[in-house]
Structure 1
């Protein structure tokens, strides 16, 4: 995924009201940008550190700039725009980067499925193979040397695990894909200390046949790309 134009740089002052962040530009002026991450952003907020933001040419937008990348005090980069995760996954599947998901002839996004009024992020199909349901989660929480998901209690995420298990029971393939948008994360596991119910359901999902994958993102001011697999601990 290319950023066109290239991302601009500023220094984070603060994030507030969930959707907004103030940054200081190189010339000393301050501006407000849109924050596309409505979650807790635990361990992703570093006032005084660099951030990168994109610019929209849509004249109707009140805040034309969108926060894309945060820099940590250890110089790691974090893709905080969770809305990019699905597009990154689709791009990587089509390019054959996610080897576990190759060999399908059709890819569809946001397809209704399940018993709990859900939409699957990606549905892969081929006449010679079972349907493959792929649920995508963005992982950005780094603690010590491990990446954790979720960074807050997620009843929605719990529902998605139940739906994936149901798909397996119907004879389909079901995959949970962690898009790791933090350059310091090499291992991913469920955040049992944050959402014990999610961690329990993830173990149940794996035991029922749900596959769990994690792929690392390469981040820069000009592009964001899934590049390699990460270890997952369940």
Structure 2
């Protein structure tokens, strides 16, 4: 088990989502506001009364960040996209990402066309333009799939389109998914969430865009662990 991060976790109870970016949670018997960084619907997790995990924050209109929801085996499914990114970056730094072996982050928030991609990596074979997406929708008969997206995403469509154009121009392009739930083994796109993204991912695969995924989860004591450095991809 590889520990990637250690968070100052505060147990909380989810009450309701007030808007896209703010949730109402209960901490020590008091109602408090928590920042939500994930713009997905997250309907399987955002159930009133569900146990969750928050971290304290200072400044702004919220007191906490809603990081994860209790899931299989008491572990947390991590919905916070900033935590997902930090965990991925730590795994990369530790050399635990097999599909980015000996690579480093050259730049973040790279402008490509009319979009901004999350990363530009410097690898032994050259540069790699990459976009990271959060896959926190569980699927499959045994819950073994991490899926994306859970709702239509015009932004996601644009990103995949830019990656397709980069690949067609001869550049190395990649999209990878953070399966941030305990026990997931595979990734697949969710066609009910956004059929266009499913079609774009299949097109991306055909033109050479690399598609990868990894699995992480949160332990109740605040440790974020790498569960699987590479999930099987099914398109």
Distance change (3 Å), C-alpha of 1:105 and 1:25: closer
Q: Is the 8 A contact 2:78 2:84 kept in 1?
A: no
The superposition leaves residues 120-175 of structure 1 with CA deviations (integer Å, 9 ceiling, x where unpaired) of 2111125x523111110010011342322111111111111111111112222111
What is the CA–CA distance in structure 2 between the aligned matches of 1:104 and 1:25, rounded to whole Å? 41
Name 1:200's counterpart in structure 2.
Answer: 199
Q: Is the 8 A contact 2:75 2:217 kept in 1?
A: no
What is the CA–CA distance in structure 2 between the aligned matches of 1:178 and 1:106, rounded to whole Å? 17
1:223 aligned to 2:223?
Answer: yes
What is the CA–CA distance in structure 1 between the aligned matches of 2:90 and 2:56, rounded to whole Å? 22
Q: Is the 8 A contact 1:85 1:136 kept in 2?
A: no
After TM superposition, the structure 1 = structure 2 runs for residues 59-208 of structure 1, keeping only pairs within 5 Å, are: 60-72=59-71, 75=74, 77-104=76-103, 107-113=106-112, 115=113, 117-126=114-123, 129-144=125-140, 145=143, 146-208=145-207
> Could you tell me which of 2, 18, 28 is aligned with 2:5?
2
Distance change (3 Å), C-alpha of 1:104 and 1:35: closer
- SS of 1:198's equivalent in the other structure is helix
- SS of 2:11's equivalent in the other structure is strand
What is the CA–CA distance in structure 2 between the aligned matches of 1:45 and 1:226, rounded to whole Å? 24
> Which stretch shows the higher mean deviation, 102-111 or 211-220?
102-111
| Number of positions where the alignment pairs a residue of Structure 1 with one of Structure 2 | 227
TM-score, normalised to structure 1, is 0.87
Name 1:11's counterpart in structure 2.
Answer: 13
- Displacement, 1:223? 2.6
Distance change (3 Å), C-alpha of 1:216 and 1:106: closer
Distance change (3 Å), C-alpha of 1:30 and 1:155: closer
- Displacement, 1:73? 7.8
> Could you tell me which of 17, 20, 23 is aligned with 1:21?
23
Computed over aligned residues only, the root mean square deviation of the Cα atoms, in angstroms, reads 2.1
- Displacement, 1:192? 1.3
Q: Is the 8 A contact 1:3 1:222 kept in 2?
A: yes
Gaps of 5+ in 1: none
TM-score, normalised to structure 2, is 0.87
- Displacement, 1:105? 5.3
- SS of 1:2's equivalent in the other structure is strand
